[in-house]
Structure 1
Amino acid sequence: MNCIQKPILTEKASLLTEKSNRYAFRVDHKANKAEIKKAVEDMFNVVVKSVNTMVVVPKTKSRYTKAGNITGRAAKYKKAIITLKDGETIDFYSTI
């Protein structure tokens, strides 16, 4: 089972990468920290120092249409913040 879905490439995540060598990934909701650590180490050939996980709460969205006010929710997902050992890096753009 591949628990890593995709990397999160936002401004906040890139600041984490530059300052403290941490990377953000969107992961499977059922994956635990040990599975995430093993998947990152196997996929990118790096040494993982620590893994922090969180479930991102879905935001409510609403818009006004001819039929009236329509409300809905975005999907929730699990995010993992990976801290690598000093000197290790992950290059997401090398495979493009």
Structure 2
Amino acid sequence: MDARSIILRPVVTEASTAAMDDKRYTFDVALNATKTQIKKAVEEIFNVKVVKVNVMNLKGKKKRQGRYVGYTKRRRKAIVTLSSDSDEIKLFGDNSDNN
């Protein structure tokens, strides 16, 4: 698998942005990706050193529209911990130049 097809998108929540201070980043990943594939993909894309990868499988939530009931898509979430000597990942553009 290609590195860009393994890492789908960053998860931006209040808890995940607070964890970025400890060099822990959260990503949505492909459903069939393994921990070693996720580690190699993050190291290849962002040029950082990954220490640990935690993976969670999340079931879809039950949603209804009137009398019709369905589920949202299931997803797989990975929390990646970087080494202390590696650089931070820039998920957001730096707008300090636009004053």
Q: TM tier, shorter chain?
A: 0.7 to 0.9
Percent identity over the alignment? 36
* Structure-1-length-normalised TM-score: 0.85
Q: Flag the structure with higher strand content.
A: 1
- CA distances 1:32-55 after superposition (whole Å, capped 9, x unpaired): 011100000010010001000011
- Cα deviation for residue 94 of structure 1 reads 3.9
- Cα deviation for residue 63 of structure 1 reads 3.4
* 1:90 and 2:93 matched: no
Task: Name the structure 2 match of 1:58.
Answer: 60
CA distance in 1, matches of 2:76, 2:58: 6
- Cα deviation for residue 70 of structure 1 reads 1.8
**Counterpart secondary structure, 1:93:** coil
Q: Say which of 64, 69, 72 aligns to 2:70.
A: 72
Q: Say which of 22, 27, 41 aligns to 2:24.
A: 22
Corresponding pairs, count? 90
**Counterpart secondary structure, 1:13:** helix
* Structure-2-length-normalised TM-score: 0.83
Runs (4+) off by over 6 Å: none
- Cα deviation for residue 17 of structure 1 reads 1.2
Task: Name the structure 2 match of 1:10.
Answer: 13
CA distance in 1, matches of 2:73, 2:34: 20
